Amino acid sequence: MFDIDSKKNGIFAKFAPLAKRAEAVSTLGRQPFGMTFDAMLSPTRARVGNAEVVLAGTNNYLGLTYDPRCMSAAKDAIDRQGTATTGSRLANGTYSDHVDLESALRDFFGAASALVCTTGYQANLASISALAGRGDHLLIDADSHACIYDACRLSDAETIRFRHNSPEDLAKRLSRLPAEGARLVVIEGLYSMLGDVAPVAEFVDVAHAHDAMIFVDEAHSIGCYGTNGRGVADAQGVLDKVDFLSGTFSKSFASIGGFCVSRHAAFEYVRLVSRPYLFTASGSPANVAAAHAALSVMAEDTSRMESLWARAHQLHAGLVDAGFEPASPTGPIIAVPRPDELTAVREWNALLRAGIYVNIAVPPATPQARSLLRLSVSAAHSEAEIDQIIGAFRQLSALAA
Amino acid sequence: MTSDTSAIFDQISKILSAHAKTDTPITPETRIAADLAIDSVEMFDIVMEIEDAYDISFPIEEASDIDSVQSLVDTIGRLTDV
Ligand SMILES: Cc1ncc(COP(=O)(O)O)c(C=O)c1O
* DSSP secondary structure letters along A268-319: GGHHHH-HHHHSSBPPPHHHHHHHHHHHHHHHH--HHHHHHHHHHHHHHHHH
Do A282 and A88 touch, CB atoms closer than 8 A? Answer: yes
Same domain, A180 and A273: yes
Mean pLDDT of chain A: 96
pLDDT of A60-91, one tens digit each?
999 999 999 999 999 999 999 999 999 999 99
Q: What is the ipTM of this complex?
A: 0.93
Cα A162 to chain centroid distance, Å, stands at 21
Identify whether A5 is part of a domain.
no
Residue B1 has what pLDDT?
60
Report CA dihedral (A217, A218, A219, A224) to the nearest 10 degrees: 170
Identify whether A45 is part of a domain.
yes
Same domain, A71 and A61: no
Count Cβ–Cβ pairs < 8 Å, chain A vs chain B: 40
Among the partner-chain residues A159, A163, A176, the one whose CB lies closest to the CB of B60 is: A159
**Whose Cα sits closest to atom 16 in ligand 1?**
A192
Mean pLDDT of A164-177: 98
Tell which atom from ligand 1 comes closest to the C-alpha of A120.
Answer: 10
How far, in Å, from the CA of B35 to the mean position of ligand 1?
A: 34
Q: Which of A300, A330, A365 is the last residue of a domain?
A: A300
Residue A322 has what pLDDT?
97
pLDDT of B10-65, one tens digit each?
999 999 999 999 999 999 999 999 999 998 889 999 999 999 999 999 999 999 88
Residue A170 has what pLDDT?
98
Residue A23 has what pLDDT?
86
Does the pLDDT of residue A132 top 90, yes or no?
A: yes
Question: Helices A120-131 & A146-154, crossing angle to 10 degrees?
Answer: 40
Q: Find the largest Cα–Cα distance for chain A.
A: 63
CB contact under 8 A, B48 and A176: no
Domain CATH code at residue A203: 3.40.640.10
Report helix, strand or coil for B20: coil
Smallest CA–CA separation between B76 and chain A, in Å?
15
Residues of B in contact with A369 (CB under 8 A): 41
Identify whether A310 is part of a domain.
yes
Residue span of the structural domain in which A358 resides: 13-65+302-400
Identify whether A346 is part of a domain.
yes
Same domain, A145 and A225: yes
DSSP letters for A75-143: HHHHHHH-S---SBTTTT---HHHHHHHHHHHHHHT-SEEEEESSHHHHHHHHHHHHS-TT-EEEEETT
Q: Indicate the number of domains in chain A.
A: 2
Do A213 and A184 touch, CB atoms closer than 8 A? Answer: yes
Name A135's Cβ contacts closer than 8 Å, sequence gap at least 6: A157, A180, A181
Q: Which of A282, A300, A318 is the last residue of a domain?
A: A300
Same domain, A379 and A256: no
Residue B79: Cβ-neighbour burial (10 angstroms; 0-12, 13-18, 19+): middle
Among the partner-chain residues B40, B44, B51, the one whose CB lies closest to the CB of A173 is: B51
Residues of B within an 8 Å Cβ radius of A: 39-41, 44-45, 47-48, 51-52, 55-62
The number of C-alpha atoms within 13 Å of A30 and in the hemisphere containing its C-beta is 17
pLDDT of A175-216, one tens digit each?
999 999 999 999 999 999 999 999 999 999 999 999 999 999
CB contact under 8 A, A363 and B45: no
Same domain, A292 and A383: no
Architecture of domain B3-80: Orthogonal Bundle (1.10)
Domain CATH code at residue A354: 3.90.1150.10
Residues of B in contact with A153 (CB under 8 A): 61
Does the pLDDT of residue A43 top 80, yes or no?
A: yes
Name A317's Cβ contacts closer than 8 Å, sequence gap at least 6: A330
Strands A356-357 and A51-55: parallel
Residue A33 has what pLDDT?
83
How far, in Å, from the CA of A248 to the mean position of ligand 1?
A: 6
Identify whether A200 is part of a domain.
yes
Distances from the Cα of A137 to the Cα of A20, A122, A184, B61, angstroms: 39, 20, 6, 11
**pTM recorded for the entire structure:** 0.96
Q: What are phi and psi of A330, to 5 degrees?
A: -50, 135
pLDDT confidence bin for A59, thresholds 50/70/90: very high
Report helix, strand or coil for A349: helix
pLDDT confidence bin for B82, thresholds 50/70/90: low
Tell which atom from ligand 1 comes closest to the C-alpha of A122.
Answer: 11
Mutate which of A119, A143, A145, A287 for ligand 1 pocket (most atoms within 8 A of beta carbon): A145
Residue A17 has what pLDDT?
86
Q: Which of A267, A282, A300 is the last residue of a domain?
A: A300
The better pLDDT of the pair A1, A14 is held by A14
Which residues are bridge partners to A141 per DSSP?
Answer: A162
A322: left (phi over 0), alpha (psi -120 to 50) or beta: alpha
Buried b (16+ CB within 10 A) or exposed e, A158-190: bbbbbbbbbbebbbbbbeebeeeeebbbbbbbb
Residue A7 has what pLDDT?
72
Mean pLDDT of A237-259: 98
Identify whether A3 is part of a domain.
no
Residues within 6 Å of ligand 1 by CB:
A 119-121, 124, 145, 147, 188, 192, 217, 219-220, 248, 250, 258
Residue A21 has what pLDDT?
86
Kindly report the number of other CB atoms within 10 A of residue A229's CB atom. Answer: 27
Same domain, A346 and A395: yes
**What is the percent of chain A where pLDDT is above 70?**
100
pLDDT confidence bin for A29, thresholds 50/70/90: confident
